[in-house]
Amino acid sequence: MTATDSFSSTPEGFRSGFVSFVGRPNTGKSTLTNALVGQKIAITANQPETTRHPIRGIIHRDNAQIIVVDTPGLHRPRTLLGERLNEVVKDTYADMDLIGLTIPADEKIGPGDRWILENVRKVAPTTPILGIVTKVDKVSRDQVAAQLMAVHDLLGESSEIVPVSAVTGEQRDVLIEVITSLLPEGPKFYPDDHITDDDTETRIAELVREAALSGLKDELPHSVAVEVDEIIPNEDRPGVMDVHVVIYVERPGQKEILIGKGGRRIGRIIHNARPQICELLGTNVYLDLRIKVLKNWQSDPKQLGRLGF
């Protein structure tokens, strides 16, 4: 990626670069990305492997421009989708200026953390790694201190480590300062009014998927994919946009679960997603939601390609 002439003029000593957060599922990577950017650009859910494509969020400072890349979590894949996501993640890591290893304050370091660190160092052997202890609002100061020491032992003496809470904002500015100090000097990559490079349809699809994942358990969340069919003005209601969205699942039983008894669950999905889509588009929205069965799409190369994986 190269800076364009329109915003390449930067002050002396200006720093810029790309940083990616890595860590086990549910270590707070997407929540932290949103907190640092100052706006919701990445969906969050309780289920692992919620993030499915790299999302770039831009942090603007007088002395720096930080591009935070929220990626799917590196994991041991069970499907062709999982294999493809891992390849995307590894390619992304190789292009980063800095990698932040996220480890929650309320969980002990385990084999999964070491496996991720080992794989990151394989694909990006020269990229500096910053330790980030997340969710410090959930534990005592003594527990935070103990976790900082454990992460220090994991990464080595020369590594920087920052405790942070994305929920309360504690240490947020400190983390941004440390990230800035570890980035190279360089130009702006994006105009000052950009907060993400995701297109509108992708963001809408993600908001619907986030609403659909709420309350789901077991394997069903992994079987949910969302695609925006079209966004068109409503012919009968001026100022209203019709947003047509399709949710794909792998089996008829999953479709029944998402529709819910008397259509209650699909109604709740629309109720939760629509206000956020209205805010994103800046206009009133009629959200038309359909659920279709796309048999075993997670392991079907043709269907994966159709859905953009």
240 labeled binding residue: no
72 labeled binding residue: yes
137 labeled binding residue: yes
111 labeled binding residue: no
28 labeled binding residue: yes
- For the beta carbon of residue 40, count every other beta carbon within 10 angstroms: 22
234 labeled binding residue: no
Provide the Cα torsion 285, 291, 294, 298; round to 10°.
Answer: 70
Contact by Cβ (8 Å): 182, 128: yes
Could you say which DSSP state residue 184 is in? P
216 labeled binding residue: no
- Residues ≥6 apart with Cβ < 8 Å to 38: 59, 195
282 labeled binding residue: no
Closest by CA to 198, choosing from 47, 34, 62, 64, is 34
295 labeled binding residue: no
Provide the Cα torsion 14, 69, 166, 158; round to 10°.
Answer: -70
CA 82 – CA 84 distance, rounded (Å): 5
Tokens of 190: 């994006």
- Residues ≥6 apart with Cβ < 8 Å to 48: 25, 26, 73, 75
Closest by CA to 246, choosing from 264, 263, 258, is 258
Tokens of 43: 């969906």
5 labeled binding residue: no
CA 190 – CA 99 distance, rounded (Å): 20
- The DSSP annotation for 151-172 comes to HHHHH-TT--EEE--TTT-TTH
Closest by CA to 41, choosing from 67, 64, 14, 19, is 67
252 labeled binding residue: no
User: H or E element: which one contains 56?
Assistant: strand 55-61
125 labeled binding residue: no
122 labeled binding residue: no
290 labeled binding residue: no
Among all chains, which residue has been given the structure tokens 């994966």?
Answer: 304
135 labeled binding residue: yes
Task: Return binding residues for GTP.
Answer: 23-30, 70-74, 134-137
- Residue stretches of the annotated binding site: 23-30, 70-74, 134-137
